[in-house]
Structure formats: structure tokens, C-alpha cells
Chain A
Amino acid sequence: MLASWFKSAALGLMVALLPLAQAGAGDVPKPVIQKGEGDKCVEDTDYMRRNHMKLLNHHRDKTMHDGIRTKQHSLKGCIDCHATPNASGQKTVLGKDHFCQSCHSYAAVSVDCFQCHSSKPSGNAAAQSIMPAQSTQGGTAGPRPQGHARLPLINSNLTVKGVAGVIK
């Protein structure tokens, strides 16, 4: 009897607090998402929002250890398309309202990439644009060439989406 009273009281409290919580969420400014170059990203936007970090981690190991420099999931590719000019005209993905930092600030997730990687696009960014995606499906098709023992998982026939373990 007492327990059910507690339950209904707790429920009432939650219902009472709900508008407060919603009002609180409204105080955080939404991230400014500037449109990148080209028509569409290398994967669906929803997919990229949830999984870009997995794709990047996967690609970085392939590039570092196997010298595979495909452009589809490369960080350089992201920056080349998503960098936008700052006050001094330099294209970058860092800074308030710029592509990477804007979302990461909103989500309160630190982005460590740019401790080492340049946040500016490579010189001939326009020429290297990969936005008119040639093959957006499948990711890295085929078995990974033998080479380094660090990534046994990727040695199998998995696609990038499979590796990322995503429920779409």
C-alpha cells in the first residue's frame, strides 16, 4: 500500500518536473550545422552523425599501417568538404559555429583529432572533393590485405557498416 503511494508520488513529481526539464534543454543553443561542399556526404547524414568516429578510427588504422589512402572515409576528406571560412578567411572545421566544434561543443564531447591533424583543408581541396560519391555503398569491399596483426577483426570480409556495428 505504502509502496504504491510512493510510486504514484514519484510519478506525480516527474510529471510536475517535466516542463522544467524541457525548458532547461531549450537553454542550450543548438549546433550550427553549415552545409559542406557537394550534394551529399559519403554516407547518409543520420548514419554519419552516429558513426563518423567509427569510420574514422577504422580508416586511420588502414591508412597508418597499410598505406591505404582511399578518400571515402578519410579525415582529410571530411575537412576538405566541411571546412568553412572563419573571420580571417581561413577555411577550418574548428571554432565556434564551424562544422566539427559546433556539434562537439553541443554534445560535450572533446574532439582530439586536431591535436595532431590539421583542421584546415589540404591545398587543392576543390580538386580533391569527393562529394559526388562514386560508390557510397559497401565501404571497404573485399578482404583486407594481410599485413599487421593489430586488427584481426577487420581481416574478415566485413564491410565498414558491419564493423561499425550499427543498427540503422
Chain B
Amino acid sequence: MNQFEQYRRRFIGGALAATGAVMAPGVMLMQVAHSRAPEEGVSSKHRWGLLIDSSKCATGCNDCVTACNTENGLSGETGLQDPQWIRKIELTNNNTGATHSLPMMCQHCEHPPCVDVCPTGASFKRADGIVLVDRHICIGCRYCMMACPYKARSLVHEDLNDTQLAHMPRGKGCVESCTLCMHKVDRGDGTTACAEACPEKAIVFGDLNDPSCEIAQRLATYASKEVRADLGLNTGVRYTGI
């Protein structure tokens, strides 16, 4: 090996090392954004949310609701006393007759009224923005159901007779609602059952705080709306096309 060859090798080695140094932080960021160690708690670095394109959402399609029921072990009944985590809503403009269809679920507010009114502290917001009910503390008083502007919460009226799924404990006498598929979020799936099931890809799940996330990019590009934005709740679920 002559001296020139040695210089060449050293140069290439140095260049590779420099590339690694530049690449490594980027790679790390991706890992941090999409999964965390099981022993690591949730953090406010993330704010999970959904973006729902109601112009893609088809009237009569119920796939997101069905997927949610299957994922979380809900019966799928829609009676007055049956728990429903997602409701399909049909909207009609009385002046023009234009119709919209959209799924309505817990909007995972930054300032959730259900948390404000809960007398026991069972209704709470996780650091990553997911609003939940701690059923160990819930006394089933249903104040949160009254406070929620989105009719997102349900009380379980009937005994579930051990039909619950292992990853989704539910029980009679407790209030419950969409958990934004927190078991999937904690697992690092990076999606929800409803978003996976939507045939039109009208539901996008992601981190509102991460500019590299599709949801954040779409929110930055297109006009989106919060339902009842006048309440100033800063919802985690946003809609386009309404």
C-alpha cells in the first residue's frame, strides 16, 4: 500500500465517521418519536391527536365504529344506555341541503371539562394529552358525561360478565370513552383502530407536537376546525371539510 492509498483510506474513513455523526441524531429522533421503553412514562413532549377529513368520510360507512368496538370489546349496541365510544354523525346544511358525515368521539381536549368537574379525580388527562377515566377511582356519578360538549362519554349500566378484553378493562358503574387506543399508543403502534380501519384513510393519527408527523404537516398546510372551538378547549381531534 503506497502513501497515496493510505491517505485515500483515511479520507474515506473520516468521511464515513462524519456521516455517522450527522445521521445518528436524526435516527435517534425518529426512535424517540415513535416508541419508548416500557419503563419510561408518557411525557408532554407528545400530544396525540386525530385529524378527520369529513369530505372523505362516507355516509353510511361505519367501519371506524366497528373497529373501535372490536378493539375495545364493546357490544356495538346503540341503545340509550349502551356505551358508544365513536358515534357517526350526519350533518345537513338546512340552506343548501349539503350533507356531511363524520365520526365523533372524545376530542381529547387540552382543557377538558370532564376533568374539571370530576369530584374524585378519576377523570384525568395523561401527560401526552390523552383524556382518560381511572376506573379504580370512578364512582359513576356521571358529572363528566354532563360536562362533555361532545357527548363522548358513556356509563356502563350492565354487568359485562367477564367479556372484557385483557388489554381493555371495563366495568359496570364506571364512565368510559375513547382512550385514543392508549394500549396501542403505549405499545408504539403509532395508530388507532379507527384510523387503521378507515377505507378512505379519512382518519389520521399522530403527534400534534412533532412537525415531521403527517398530522402536524396536514394541520399546518390545510384549514382545519375544532368542533365547538368557541369553548376554547383546544381539542386534540381536528376536522377538515366541515
Segment of B98-106, B160-168, B230-238 engaged in the interface with chain A = B160-168
B124 touches A148 (CB 8 A): yes
B169 touches A67 (CB 8 A): no
Min CB–CB distance B116 → chain A (angstroms) = 16
A114 touches B162 (CB 8 A): yes
Q: Given the complex of chains A and B, what is the CA–CA distance between A122 and B132 in angstroms?
A: 22
B41 touches A118 (CB 8 A): no
B178 at the binding interface (Cβ < 8 Å): no
The 8 Å CB contact of A60, one of B39, B136, B162, B186, is B136
Given contacts A117-B169, A147-B127, A150-B121, contact A68 B164 (CB under 8 A): no
**Contact mask for chain B residues 159-187; partner A; CB cutoff 8 A; 1 contact, 0 none:** 00010111101111010000000100111
Min CB–CB distance B194 → chain A (angstroms) = 20
Note all chain B residues with C-beta closer than 8 A to A145: 40-41, 43
A116 touches B42 (CB 8 A): no
Segment of A17-25, A69-77, A156-164 engaged in the interface with chain B = A69-77
B162 touches A120 (CB 8 A): yes
Main secondary structure of the interface of B (DSSP, over half): loop
A75 — nearest CB in chain B belongs to which residue?
B169
**Contact mask for chain B residues 118-132; partner A; CB cutoff 8 A; 1 contact, 0 none:** 000100101110001
A140 touches B166 (CB 8 A): no
Q: Given the complex of chains A and B, what is the CA–CA distance between A147 and B124 in angstroms?
A: 12
B226 at the binding interface (Cβ < 8 Å): no
Q: Given the complex of chains A and B, what is the CA–CA distance between A120 and B185 in angstroms?
A: 23
A116 touches B171 (CB 8 A): yes
Given contacts A64-B136, A120-B162, contact A144 B41 (CB under 8 A): yes
8 A-B contacts, Cβ less than 8 Å apart?
A60-B136, A65-B126, A67-B42, A116-B164, A117-B169, A118-B166, A123-B166, A147-B43
What are the 8 A-B residue pairs with the smallest beta carbon separation, nearest first? A116-B171, A66-B41, A122-B166, A145-B41, A67-B42, A116-B169, A117-B169, A118-B164
